Amino acid sequence: MTKQGLINKIKAKLEEISPFDDSSFLEQDNLVKPITSYIEDALVNSCNQARLIIPLHLFKPKEFENKDIYKTSDLTGYVILPSDFLRLYAFRMMSWKRDVTDAISTQNQQYKLQRNRYTMGKPESPVCVINTNVEFYDSTPPGETKLKRLSKTLEYYSIRKFVLHKIERALYVPLFDETNIEDELSEFYSLCTCIDVLAIMGDEGKKKLMEGELKLLITSNTL
C-alpha cells in the first residue's frame, strides 16, 4: 500500500463516523486546516504506536545485521540494536531454553534483579533489557585515541558459566516505513491515526468508538 492509499483509507474511516468538508475540517482561533494535514502530521508517530501493540505474529521481522557481542561478564553481555529498531521480536542465545520476545526497560523493577548473578535471568527463563545509556568504544587503529559514544543496546541475562556467548536468533520489528506499508496492517494503522486525529480535535466520543474498534481488532488477531 502507498502512503496516499493509507491516507485515503484513514479519511474514509473518519468520514464513516463524521462527514466532513476536507477544505475546512477543523476551525479553531480562525485557523482552518484540511484534514489531510492533520493525518500527515500524525501518521508516522501513530503508525509506530500501532506497531508497538499489533500482535507479534502478524509482522514479518527483520534480522539483526550486526550480531557482535560485547561481554560484560562471563555470564552476560549486550548487542548493539539496529538504528531502525522499534520492538523486539525474538532473541535467543545458543544455550537458552526459549526465546525472549518482550524486552524490559531499565526502569522496570526486574532490572535491579539482573545486577545480581543469583537473581538475574537464567537459560531456562532469560531476560533481555533495552538500555539507551551504554557506552562502548569504536574500534580504532593502534596509537589513535579511541572514541566513546552512546548507543541503544540489548543486554542479555544470562548464559551458563564456561559457555560460549553466541546468538542463535535475533529478530526485531523495525520502525514504520512509509515507503513500504504492509497492506495486512493497514487497518491497525488507520485506526490508530484516526484516534490521534480525533484527540487533536478534542472529540472524545468518536475517539472512544475508534478505541473500541481497535481493541476488538487486536483481540480478534491475538493467538
- Rounded average pLDDT per 10-residue block, the chain, 223 residues: 96 79 48 79 98 98 95 95 97 96 96 96 97 72 70 95 95 97 98 96 92 97 91
Helix 3-17 vs helix 204-220: angle between axes, to the nearest 10 degrees? Answer: 120
Q: Which residue, 154, 170, 166, is CA-closest to 104?
A: 154
Q: According to the model, what pLDDT value does residue 146 have?
A: 64
* pTM of the complete model beyond 0.75: yes
Radius of gyration, CA atoms only, the chain: 22
The C-alpha atoms of residue 165 and residue 157 are separated, in whole angstroms, by 11
The C-alpha atoms of residue 71 and residue 93 are separated, in whole angstroms, by 13
Q: Is 46 exposed, middle or buried (0-12, 13-18, 19+ CB in 10 A)?
A: buried
Residue keyed to cell 523495525:
174
Chain centroid offset of residue 134 CA: 19
Q: According to the model, what pLDDT value does residue 20 have?
A: 56
